[in-house]
């Protein structure tokens, strides 16, 4: 057999037995071209490359269902402590209106975020972004498996005061964005890397007309592409959909045919039962579970505002398919897994609300199910060769009595040494092979400086960036 790589005598393997992940110790993993051919005892076939697995934990690559690599790295140092009290502390709308990153900054941000994703063990990512020149080539070159979601919406957020979410509607623009999105998804699927797919991405439940949401869902179902949007991500959004339709956002989405096993909803925090909402119905979890809709759970951006899902274990117990995403910087899915466990326990007042095994399943099998892929998120013969190798001798991983638990709770990205996607190596010795995050960092700093300098022209109160998001410490002049 040609072009076969064998990871020999791996200390630990997270293998898939058809219904759950399980540990194996001292076995081999082999893959030929883009497919796994062996997980288990000694591999006896010919191999063109052998990797010593004696210090490695071999696990499937993680699946990130929700991220914005083109913009979020530019919010470092800006958004972490920022929120608007009159908006229940979400800072999303104020920042989105005041800060806009230029195209060189977006390219640099993407380069940095893709590297960060690979280095935290992600092999498949849904990149939900507004299109820029060179997107597909950079995605193809990165080594990642990328679901390309090109933003479209009929309205952009617009503020005229501190307490009200306003909208700038332009349906003709929305239609052009939808058409561009379809072209980009078509091109992605023809890309020579073979690792790019489309994901249909109307931006938010409240910024698209009903006909656009229906058209997006129809397009997804005609083409077999997954469908995603942001839903129940803020209390203001919940109240806006109630104001327009007399329904919760999930009730509205269900009634217009937007939910289904191909639908991935970003966030889904502010549902009818959430303690910050206390709506007098309890149908939202049933709507998710009955339709087979997936939640892309991204705890950290919300936790920073003091918000949390209530709670991961409750959604799971209700039969909701849970997947994971990063949404913002850092694009570190392992940290999101850890926070998801901790917040579920805090919100439930119960340690059993979530654990390492459940979150690993969400970040692998849960994500794969949402994308309609039974060949991702698992180590088993026939699956795609998307593998992550952790260094059991990294001090942060020692002692590795239970390596998955140590990875999630202690070591995180520090332990990632090698990553393979589609059988091709994307990370070696803890470094991305096809990306230059150092060079991109300098370019992003220049673009962030421009973005911050222009804030006073964009902000509805004409404030400077420093007035909107003050430094964490007072800046003393010498």
Axis-axis angle for helices 103-119, 437-453 (nearest 10): 140
Nearest CB to Zn ion, comparing residues 240 and 327: 327
Residue 41: CB minimum distance to Zn ion, A = 43
| CA distance linking residue 348 with residue 340, whole number of Å | 12
The end-to-end CA distance of the chain, in Å, is 69
Residue 68: CB minimum distance to Zn ion, A = 6
Nearest CB to Zn ion, comparing residues 5 and 204: 204
Nearest-CB residue for Zn ion? 327
Binding residues for Zn ion, total number by CB under 5 A: 2
Residue of 342, 251, 337 whose CA lies nearest to 297: 337
- In which residue are the tokens 């849960």 written? 366
| CA distance linking residue 31 with residue 388, whole number of Å | 13
Residue 148: CB minimum distance to Zn ion, A = 15
Residue 234: CB minimum distance to Zn ion, A = 11
Nearest CB to Zn ion, comparing residues 112 and 265: 265
**Mask 252-271, x = binds Zn ion (CB under 5 A)?**
--------------x-----
**Mask 164-193, x = binds Zn ion (CB under 5 A)?**
------------------------------
State residue 121 phi and psi, 5-degree precision: 90, 10
**Mask 324-353, x = binds Zn ion (CB under 5 A)?**
---x--------------------------
CA angle 332, 330, 201 (to 5 degrees): 85
| CA distance linking residue 100 with residue 61, whole number of Å | 32
Instruction: Provide the token pair at 315.
Output: 């959604």
Q: Could you say whether residue 206 binds Zn ion (CB under 5 A)?
A: no
Residue 294: CB minimum distance to Zn ion, A = 15
| CA distance linking residue 447 with residue 210, whole number of Å | 36
Residue 233: CB minimum distance to Zn ion, A = 7
Nearest CB to Zn ion, comparing residues 27 and 266: 266
Nearest CB to Zn ion, comparing residues 339 and 392: 339
Q: Rounded to whole angstroms, what are the CA distances from 88 to 19, 91, 239, 435?
A: 41, 9, 12, 39
Residue 71: CB minimum distance to Zn ion, A = 10
Instruction: Provide the token pair at 393.
Output: 């001798």
3-state SS assignment for residue 86: helix
> In terms of DSSP bridges, do strands 424-428 and 416-421 run parallel, antiparallel, or are they unpaired?
antiparallel
State residue 425 phi and psi, 5-degree precision: -75, 130
Residue of 419, 352, 473, 475 whose CA lies nearest to 123: 419
| CA distance linking residue 358 with residue 323, whole number of Å | 10
Residues 263-322 that bind Zn ion (CB under 5 A): 266
**Mask 209-248, x = binds Zn ion (CB under 5 A)?**
----------------------------------------
Residue 66: CB minimum distance to Zn ion, A = 6
Residue 230: CB minimum distance to Zn ion, A = 5
Nearest CB to Zn ion, comparing residues 121 and 203: 203
Q: Which residues of this chain interact with Zn ion, rule CB under 5 A?
A: 266, 327
């Amino acid at each position: 057999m040609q072009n076969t790589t064998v990871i020999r005598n791996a200390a630990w393997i997270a293998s898939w037995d058809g219904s759950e992940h399980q540990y194996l110790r001292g076995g081999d993993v082999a893959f030929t071209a883009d497919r796994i051919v062996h997980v288990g005892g000694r591999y006896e076939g010919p191999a063109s490359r052998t990797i010593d697995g004696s210090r490695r934990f071999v696990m499937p690559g993680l699946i990130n269902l929700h991220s914005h690599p083109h913009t979020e790295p530019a919010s470092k140092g800006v958004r972490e402590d920022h929120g608007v009290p009159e908006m229940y502390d979400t800072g999303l709308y104020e920042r989105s209106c005041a800060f806009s990153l230029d195209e060189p900054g977006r390219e640099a941000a993407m380069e940095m975020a893709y590297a960060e994703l690979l280095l935290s063990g992600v092999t498949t990512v849904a990149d939900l972004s507004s299109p820029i020149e060179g997107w597909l080539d950079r995605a193809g070159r990165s080594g990642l498996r990328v679901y390309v979601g090109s933003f479209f919406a009929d309205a952009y957020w617009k503020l005229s005061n501190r307490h009200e979410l306003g909208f700038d509607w332009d349906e003709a623009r929305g239609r052009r964005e939808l058409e561009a999105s379809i072209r980009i998804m078509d091109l992605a699927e023809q890309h020579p890397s073979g690792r790019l797919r489309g994901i249909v991405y109307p931006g938010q439940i409240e910024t698209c007309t009903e006909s656009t949401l229906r058209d997006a869902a129809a397009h997804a179902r005609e083409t077999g592409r997954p469908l995603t949007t942001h839903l129940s991500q803020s209390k203001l959004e919940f109240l806006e959909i109630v104001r327009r339709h007399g329904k919760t956002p999930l009730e509205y989405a269900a009634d217009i045919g937007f939910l289904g096993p191909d639908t991935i909803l970003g966030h889904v925090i502010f549902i009818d039962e959430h303690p910050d909402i206390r709506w007098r119905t309890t149908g939202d979890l049933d709507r998710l579970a009955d339709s087979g809709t997936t939640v892309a759970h991204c705890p950290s951006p919300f936790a920073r505002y003091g918000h949390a899902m209530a709670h991961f274990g409750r959604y799971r117990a209700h039969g909701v398919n849970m997947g994971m995403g990063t949404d913002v910087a850092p694009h570190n899915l392992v940290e999101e897994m850890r926070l998801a466990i901790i917040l579920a326990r805090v919100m439930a007042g119960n340690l059993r609300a979530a654990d390492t095994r459940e979150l690993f399943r969400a970040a692998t099998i849960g994500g794969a199910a949402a994308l309609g892929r039974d060949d991702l998120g698992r180590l088993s013969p026939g699956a795609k060769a998307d593998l992550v190798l952790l260094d059991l001798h990294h001090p942060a991983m020692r002692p590795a009595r239970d390596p998955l638990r140590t990875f999630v709770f202690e070591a995180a990205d520090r332990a990632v040494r090698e990553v393979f996607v589609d059988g091709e190596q994307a990370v070696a010795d803890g470094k991305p092979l096809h990306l230059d995050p150092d060079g991109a960092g300098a370019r992003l700093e220049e673009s962030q400086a421009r973005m911050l300098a222009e804030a006073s022209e964009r902000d509805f109160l004409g404030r400077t960036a420093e007035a909107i998001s003050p430094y964490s410490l007072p800046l003393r002049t010498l």
